[in-house]
Amino acid sequence: MTSTSLVATLIGDVIGSRSVADRPALHERLTRQLDLVNEQLSPVEPLAITVGDEFQGAFGTIGAAIDAALRIRLGLLPLADLRCGLAWGEVTILDAARRTQDGPAWWAAREAIGAAKEAETDRVTAAVRTVVAGAGPGPDAVNAAVAFRDLLLDDLDDRSRAIVAGLLEGRTKAEIAERVAISPSAVSQRAARHGLDLIARAEARLAATDWRDRPSRP
């Protein structure tokens, strides 16, 4: 017996994974990061590697999926980067025991990750790693916000990205300082100079995005 529900789907793919020298280390790190985000955000369909270095999962809101995509990306950098396609819509569970699913939300997420890959080939959008598909209110505005977020992250060094990751986890500046091996004052200075607190606050607003009353269409 099949069942249908509205969820936010997320499909992710590691960029250039074949060129990574230590692929077992990459796989282990990706697995650890997916487990961590599953623990942090409690998706309705846990994030899991599907084939190669591609993974997928589903969330109760599109904002949670957007948040998950960023947390996974920050956890992989600088070892590897990734692209993500997200969508809000209907998912049909064909076989609960085997976790076999189908539906417009998965089709749209697949199209979205294709759009993210295409964006990388354009000089103007080369920094975009995340594309959101859906018929919710203001999808263009959400994609614009996500694109600017990706652009800001692309301009940061590894230490500043680690600070953003700590802020998203709700850690204090002192805790983050210990993690990145600099003083708390240096963390505060970086946060002010590069707008890291603003990035974290903007991400919190994106994470609150909720399209539960608007299904996507392929």
Single pTM value for the model: 0.88
Question: How high is the pLDDT of residue 102?
Answer: 72
pLDDT of residue 216: 46
CA 152 to each of CA 149, 158, 161: distance values in angstroms, whole numbers, following the listed order: 5, 13, 10
Give the model's pLDDT for residue 116.
Answer: 95
Of 75, 63, 53, which Cα lies nearest the Cα of 179?
Answer: 75
In this prediction, residue 212 carries a pLDDT of 65
Cα dihedral value 164, 167, 168, 169, nearest 10: 130
What does each of the 218 residues of the chain score in pLDDT, given as a tens digit?
457 788 999 999 999 888 887 888 899 999 999 999 999 999 999 999 988 889 999 999 999 999 999 999 999 999 999 999 999 988 887 566 666 677 889 999 999 999 999 999 999 999 999 999 865 656 788 899 999 999 999 999 999 999 999 999 999 999 999 999 999 999 999 999 999 999 999 999 999 888 765 544 44
- Domains annotated for the chain, with CATH where assigned, are 3-122 (3.30.70.1230)
